[in-house]
Amino acid sequence: MSRQTYKVCFCCRRRFKLAVSEAPPEIRTLFHHYSDNGIMSASNLRSFMVEVQREEKISVEEAQDIIDGLKHLTLFHSRGLNLETFFKFLFTQNNSPLLPSSVVHNDMTSPLSHYFIYTGHNSYLTGNQLSSDCSDIPIIKALHRGVRVIELDIWPNASKDDVDVLHGRTLTTPVALIKCLRSIKEHAFVASEYPLVITLEDHLTPDLQAKVAEMVTQTFGDILFCPSSENFNEFPSPESLKRRIIISTKPPKEYLEEKEVKEKEDDLHKGKTEGDEEAWGKEVPSLRGGTISDYKSDVIEDDLNDEDDHEESERSRQNASAEYRRLITIHAGKPKGGLEECLKVDPDKVRRLSLSEPQLEKAVITHGKEIVRFTQQNILRVYPKGTRIMSSNYNPLIGWMHGAQMVAFNMQGYGRSLWVMQGMFKANGGCGYVKKPDFLLNSGWNNEVFDPKVESPVKITLKVTVYMGEGWYYDFKHTHFDQFSPPDFYTRVGIAGVPYDTIMKKTKAVEDNWLPSWNEVFEFPLSIPELALLRIEVHEYDMSEKDDFGGQTCLPVWELRSGIRAVPLYSQKGDMYNNVKLLMRFEFI
């Protein structure tokens, strides 16, 4: 047998052999400290949980329940835990780095504008922005992940007698609106009982708007929230809207134009100056086109001429607009004028403003504090720039640090930005609503607001110990990372947050090991821990090609549980692996 053949056979033999996972040295030391004669009793376990895990409220009885729950392990000891069983306990899902999922602990009685909301962009697309299919399937997937804002672009269908959902002026294939609505109703509250917002990007005629109003009303029935008045001075709370669906869109064009014309007519009757009359001659859209001056003449002629058919048509259009308008809880739209006009706060009326990713990046340079002030009461939606045709995403922290509630993402894509988005909404039990930090909601003594551009002093330091990992041997093909030898894993760990907190570090690579043990410590000083997310990635080092992906997760720092925790990792698309976990320790110093 040649030397080369022997090497291949030897590597193959190594590849399929998995060593026994052993407790890292610090875990052994802790076990011996909290055990007697090699056994950790319920009383010992309680001491460990209180002093190391910082779970101060745990009782001896609850510690005993933990021990009893480990009886299925083959190394169970009747009097308590031995080292091997204790080590296995640390890797169980009950030892999560976050509070158990579905435990909602934020105050949910504040207005909607006080929360970051899990928001989708073009929620109906299966892939890229130009030629993928439109379908209800990605909507269902998003709802099952806890997304609370679904966006539908609605257009007339080919025969102009019904409504489709599609990305307009592209090659995307449409899906019927009614199909999307029915799927939304069926899956709206699978992952969260808190309100689902449907944002409609409306490209319809008044007749089809009326048809949409009928569809929405009949499909959702009693779960549809219809506001009692057109305007709010503050939005309802998530708690008050539990298991309700609410609509957000621009008011119908016909209604806005009619309202504008009526206001101008009222001004005329009150007596306006000649200068004002000249201003009305500008090209302002009316119900029939032309100028407001033209419209005033038309009104007089309509009073003199018997145009019953036309008046009935106008009345029908206005009634259709009224039915559609009645459904809108969150009114959207940009006021005429520049950014300053858009960001004006009306104490008597709240609304939703939308800015594209580039518009926001430009606006925060000159109007950062005004955006923060606007979002204390109103809702800001941010959406990806049009050049992201492959459904990539952007840094969500730009929106969040300025108080933007609806940072809209392409949920069908994947990448680090989406991992951060998924990490944010692991908070608050995964219900899709995360209460904004107080500094984004309150003004100071001199009416000042939070300024993200001003560097703040360090509030706290997060100390992270990366002990080891396991599970790749079972969740990946044995040749996935390397054809002839076990993988060479390393871990990247860092912070996504405000610019002066953001950083990434990495461990050494552990060669040829399915059970890598790093035992490395990192410290992260945090000035704004309330907006910091802990990013964790595992990669397999490849000398000749791009490093292979081995798992990722992102965790909200403000919800991290202190102590030694089992951290499950996720795929690039955000699906949790069955077995891949890291053993880590989190300490706040």
CA angle 328, 332, 333 (to 5 degrees): 140
Q: Residue 587's closest CA among 554, 558, 559, 561? A: 561
Active-site residue flag, 167:
yes
Q: How far apart are CA 307 and CA 313, in angstroms?
A: 10
Q: How far apart are CA 210 and CA 476, in angstroms?
A: 52
Active site residue: 72, 77, 114, 167, which one?
Answer: 167
Q: Is 404 exposed, middle or buried (0-12, 13-18, 19+ CB in 10 A)?
A: buried
Strand partners, 494: 504, 535
Phi and psi at residue 308, to the nearest 5°: -60, -45
Q: Is 485 exposed, middle or buried (0-12, 13-18, 19+ CB in 10 A)?
A: middle
457 close to 172: Cβ distance less than 8 angstroms: no
Q: How far apart are CA 104 and CA 192, in angstroms?
A: 10
220 close to 181: Cβ distance less than 8 angstroms: yes
Q: Is 321 exposed, middle or buried (0-12, 13-18, 19+ CB in 10 A)?
A: buried
Cα dihedral: 200, 201, 206, 211 (round 10): -40
Q: How far apart are CA 256 and CA 314, in angstroms?
A: 14
Sequence letter at residue 214: E
27 close to 40: Cβ distance less than 8 angstroms: no
Active site residue: 121, 331, 367, 402, which one?
Answer: 121
Q: Residue 409's closest CA among 435, 391, 387, 432? A: 391
Q: Residue 163's closest CA among 206, 212, 213? A: 212
User: For residue 391, is it left (φ>0), alpha (ψ between -120 and 50) or beta?
Assistant: left
Strand partners, 36: 39
Total Cβ atoms within 10 A of residue 233: 12
Active-site residue flag, 72:
no
Q: How far apart are CA 82 and CA 203, in angstroms?
A: 67
Residue 452 structure tokens = 């993200």
Q: Which residues contact 290 (CB under 8 A, 6 or more apart)?
A: 298
220 close to 245: Cβ distance less than 8 angstroms: yes
Q: Which residues contact 547 (CB under 8 A, 6 or more apart)?
A: 539, 540, 541
Catalytic residue IDs: 121, 167
